[in-house]
Amino acid sequence: MGKELLYYLVFPGFIFLAFVGGLFSWADRKISAWVQFRKGPPLLQPFYDFFKLLLVKETILPSRGSKLTFLLAPVFGLAGALLSGIMILLPAFGLRQGFSGDVIVIFYMLTIPSLTYIIGALAAGNPLASVGASREVKLVISYELTFLLAIAAIISKSGMVTGLHQIIAVQQSQGAFAGSFSGILLVAVFVLCIQAKLGFVPFDMAEAETEITHGCFIEYSGAAYSLIKLTKYMMLFILPAFLCAMLLGGFRFNGIGFLWAFLKLIGVLLLITLIRNTNPRIRIDQAMRFFLIWMNLLVIVAIILDYFNF
Amino acid sequence: MLAGILLFFIPGRIRFVKELISILAVMAALYSSIVLFGTGDKLISVDDALRTGYQAHHNCLLADHGSICFQVDGLSRLIVLFLGIFGLLILVYCLTYNKGRIKGFYSWYLITLGASYGAVLSDNLLLFIIFWGVLGITLYKLIPGTDEASSAAAKKTLIIIGASDGIMILGIAIIWKICGTLSMADVSLPTSGALTAAAFLALLTGSFTKAGAFPFHSWIPDYAQYSPASSAAFLPASLDKLLGIYFLARITTDLFILTDPWRMLLLSLGVITIVAAVLMALVQHNCRRLLGFHAVSQVGYMVLGFSLGSMLGVAAGLFHMLNNVIYKSGLFLTAGNVEFRTGKEDIDELGDLSRSMPLTFFGAIVFALSISGIPPLNGFASKWMIYQAIIDFGSGSGLPNKLWILWLGLAVFGSALTLASFIKFIGGIFLSGKKQEFAQVREVPVLMWAPLILLALGCLLFGIFATGIILPRLLMPVSGVFVPAGFWNSSLVSVLVLISVLLGICLYLITGMKKFRTEDSFIGGEKLYETTGYPVSGFYHTLKEFRLMAWFYQKAEERWFDVYELSKRFTLWLSSLASRAHSGILPHYTVWIIAGLIILLMIMNT
């Protein structure tokens, strides 16, 4: 139990994830700044943001709506992000002990943050938050199927094993899945699902700062909002790591392996950030059609290609 | 033996009490409480008998070559245990909820419970169908039938259930013709021949109708909407699921040996049930009707589990059935509580009850997350097992095995849609917008919230101890021992979630408590009125705008997917054909009569 708690709170759990997630968030903001010919924030800016919200700012509660639910939702969201993060990172770092979850469990764990955003938004009693929540639900419905089909395709590629460490082991002995045609399609689908999961442009209609002033999070402030920020930092690291583990062959930590691991993660992050910075926001019905029809079609093509060993 | 005697004892007592009730109708409430105590004792004694290792497998009362036999094996023991628990819990709930709603409710309730015991325990198919038929009638009687809508729903239920019973009798007759025995333990048929296939289909119809799977599901939403919440929680949500799925388990594992095409059919029906019913649930406004559609949708998962044919699949199906019974009856009780205090069922008219009814809200959110399969609650545990079973099934070589990604994808998609519609349920009833008219609403009395909280705890416990205790102790004795392929440690994750929530609360207390302040919402400079809001019922209008979905909803509204309406149309069409012959012209009638005579003579000649 003590060991699990250590995993959970220190490495690769809370402290590690928060730290790396913060750095990733900085990288994301820095790259965005470069794209827009700005200077960008200093390295520790995400941490300044977090601690300012947590320690300095006051927390304003909405007068309509359920306060307890409103405050507890971010806590559950953070717990969900942490657990999914650990379930992904333990096998990705080659640690076999501790608690494990297969990819189906990880898939479900990864939806918890979105769910808590929605419940928190509904508990806020603000109509704009409700609009945000409604869009977030619809977005979840639409990318969930695609995401799962992509995961199922990877399960079938790796010979019907569901443990993430098994999937990584298969890739390390036979080469990464991304090295085939179907693998490339799956990477594309996966990246777009990550984009939607993170709520990045073009799928940021649930937050849409310019339109519904941060939608789901409009009522959040102070400590509660700091937790949401932290969850978002972590997700920004967890999801690319999941992609690397599922399709890009995982990580190896010996000599040159460190560099490769770093490059893979940064490469995925760069891709996500560039998509985010070069696209407009689309409407929710467009997003639903995009995922439910086109992305699913793409995955099905990938599955069929895989069936013929391409 | 004890179970068998009890079984006869319960209906005996009921008839006695029922007579009393019909004589002293005014004192029904008083007698019902006496009956309740009697039932409570008996249930406990049944459970005791089971716990003290009542292992006898074939327990013949009249050992006449097994003609009338009661069978107690792992499966029926499990079901009986849950029948007892739910009978008691919902009866407690009814004490306050049901005052003066249905005449003779308690006697019908007890007959239902007794007949359910009988159906589950009987080994003889004939005896089984008798109990099963009794259940159809009690289902009809547990709905008030005072106004037009509810009596129409009751009639629909009776007709669909009655028709399925008729088909089942046909199936049983076929089995008797083939095997010459009616004992379930002795029958094991391959489903290759035409006759056995017909028998299988007939029995499958019965079980699907009872459990409410597509295409015989259409009585459930109506029943859920128009019956009192207690009846809905008792029958479609718990008892009928237990029975229908019990029978499905019997026919797919004991009575018949499935072949690939049948698996294919079952799997397709399973996923259609999941997705179609949940799509209908998404657009409902009446919260009980919404729950009714979910009661249909969840059956799909169980059908999936059983049709896979592996031990893991059977265990997963059973586990999902138990979990479903827990959270679904809990949800119906929640809806009952809300209706009890506010008198409203429409999601649009409700809102912001989370502060005035905190216990009900707690229960509702646990049930809703559970049914949507959020880890570490029980709904997740059983869905996860079903997914594992599907993946495991996928390594086989048949055509249904090759399509595993389809089954898995649609099952998970159904689960995402379930989440979406429960966000509507929770958000609409408990969270969104403040309504002045509910300022006086209070929490329900203790006898109503206690069963609810117990069920919610059941959800939590079944989820937390899923892999450690429930699976090896409760399910493996029924399905056989197996090793799940995936990895999931429910207890550890639950402990960590608990720790992090405690830490989170500490964080709030340490950092922010003095800085908390309550303010009105800011909506971009607009004025915020009492009625300002974005109703949750508008959440899924986008879905209706898609062409395919619009078509689906329109057809569903015209009841194209409703067996009852379809057969009604067919019957009306037939009778219109027949009525055309009644032209009122004498020569036409004479021609008919002479033609009939000729045909009769010809038959007699041969």
Contact, B363 vs B327, CB < 8 A? no
Supply the pLDDT for residue B501: 79
Which residues make beta-bridge pairs with B71?
A: B58
Cis peptide bond N-terminal to A127, omega within 30: no
Alpha-carbon gap, residue B606 to B591, rounded angstroms:
23
Supply the pLDDT for residue A1: 66
Supply the pLDDT for residue B5: 38
Q: Find the residue in B nearest to A283 (Cα).
A: B542
Say if the Cβ atoms of A66 and B417 lie within 8 Å: no
From chain A, the residues in CB contact with B416 under 8 A are 111, 140-141, 144-145
Alpha-carbon gap, residue B297 to B294, rounded angstroms:
5
Q: Give pairs for B98-103: CB < 8 Å, separation 24+.
A: B98/B228, B98/B230, B99/B29, B101/B144, B101/B228, B102/B141, B102/B142, B102/B143, B102/B144, B102/B228, B102/B231, B103/B25, B103/B28
Supply the pLDDT for residue A55: 78
Which residues make beta-bridge pairs with B59?
A: B70
Percentage above 70 pLDDT, chain B = 68
B452 CA to chain A: closest CA distance, Å?
19
Note the residue count of chain B.
Answer: 606
Alpha-carbon gap, residue B190 to B244, rounded angstroms:
22
Give B55's Cβ-side CA count (13 Å radius).
2
Any chain B CB within 8 A of the CB of A82? yes
Q: Is the ipTM of this complex over 0.90?
A: no
Alpha-carbon gap, residue B522 to B140, rounded angstroms:
52
CB atoms within 10 A of CB A310: 13
**pLDDT single digits (tens) B395-406:** 777 777 777 888
Contact, A17 vs A225, CB < 8 A? no
From chain A, the residues in CB contact with B279 under 8 A are none
Any chain B CB within 8 A of the CB of A145? yes
Supply the pLDDT for residue B23: 32
Alpha-carbon gap, residue B301 to B295, rounded angstroms:
11
**What is the rounded radius of gyration, in angstroms, for the C-alpha atoms of chain A?**
19
Say if the Cβ atoms of B426 and A122 lie within 8 Å: yes
Question: Mutating which of B350, B508, B510, B531 best tests the A interface, going by the most A Cβ atoms within 10 A?
Answer: B508
Question: Mutating which of A55, A112, A134, A299 best tests the B interface, going by the most B Cβ atoms within 10 A?
Answer: A134
- Mean pLDDT lowest for which of A12-21, B240-249, B555-564? B555-564
Alpha-carbon gap, residue A235 to A82, rounded angstroms:
9
Alpha-carbon gap, residue B432 to A124, rounded angstroms:
8
Tokens (6 digits) for B177: 């013709």
Any chain B CB within 8 A of the CB of A40? no
Local confidence band at B353 (pLDDT 50, 70, 90 cut-offs)? confident
Reduced to 3 states, what is the DSSP secondary structure of residue B192? coil
Supply the pLDDT for residue A212: 75
Local confidence band at B20 (pLDDT 50, 70, 90 cut-offs)? very low
Between β-strands B58-62 and B68-71, what pairing exists: parallel, antiparallel or unpaired?
A: antiparallel
CB contact burial B116-139 (16+ within 10 A = b; e otherwise): bbbbbbbbbbebbbebbbbbbbbb
Say if the Cβ atoms of B375 and A57 lie within 8 Å: no
**pLDDT single digits (tens) B501-537:** 788 777 777 776 666 666 666 666 666 665 566 666 6
Reduced to 3 states, what is the DSSP secondary structure of residue B84? helix
Q: Which residues contact B329 (CB under 8 A, 6 or more apart)?
A: B86, B89, B90, B233, B234, B237, B238, B455
B485, amino acid identity: A
B399 CA to chain A: closest CA distance, Å?
14
Local confidence band at B144 (pLDDT 50, 70, 90 cut-offs)? low
Alpha-carbon gap, residue A270 to A268, rounded angstroms:
5
Alpha-carbon gap, residue A258 to B401, rounded angstroms:
40
Where do the H-state alpha helices sit in chain A? 2-9, 14-35, 45-51, 67-92, 103-124, 127-157, 164-174, 181-198, 209-212, 222-247, 256-277, 284-289, 296-307
Of B517, B522, B534, the CB nearest to A130: B534
**pLDDT single digits (tens) A176-219:** 777 788 888 888 888 999 988 888 878 888 787 777 777 788 88
Q: Which residues contact B308 (CB under 8 A, 6 or more apart)?
A: B263, B267, B389, B390, B392, B393
Which of B261-275, B454-468, B477-491, B568-582 has the highest mean predicted lDDT (pLDDT)? Answer: B261-275
Alpha-carbon gap, residue B176 to A190, rounded angstroms:
55
Contact, B118 vs B15, CB < 8 A? no
Residue A210 to residues A129, A218, B394, Cα–Cα distance (Å) = 14, 12, 47
Closest CA to B422 of A118, A64, A281: A118
Cis peptide bond N-terminal to A113, omega within 30: no
pLDDT of B4 over the 70 cut: no
Any chain B CB within 8 A of the CB of A221? no
B302, amino acid identity: M
Residue A297 to residues A149, B124, B394, Cα–Cα distance (Å) = 10, 50, 21
Supply the pLDDT for residue B52: 37
Q: Which residues of chain A have pLDDT under 70?
A: 1-2, 96-100, 310
Q: Find the residue in A nearest to B508 (Cα).
A: A223
If 0-12 CB within 10 Å is exposed, 13-18 middle and 19+ buried, where does residue B562 land? buried
Local confidence band at B106 (pLDDT 50, 70, 90 cut-offs)? low
Supply the pLDDT for residue B436: 65
Q: What is the DSSP letter of A173?
A: H
- B481 versus A139: the higher-pLDDT residue is A139
Any chain B CB within 8 A of the CB of A130? yes
From chain B, the residues in CB contact with A131 under 8 A are 534
From chain B, the residues in CB contact with A100 under 8 A are 487, 489
Helix axes A296-307 and A127-157, enclosed angle (nearest 10): 10
Q: Find the residue in A nearest to B381 (Cα).
A: A105
Mean pLDDT, chain B, as a whole number?
Answer: 72
Q: Find the residue in B nearest to A104 (Cα).
A: B384
Supply the pLDDT for residue B31: 36
The residue whose two tokens read 């069978």 is B71
Alpha-carbon gap, residue A106 to A84, rounded angstroms:
5
Alpha-carbon gap, residue B176 to B244, rounded angstroms:
21
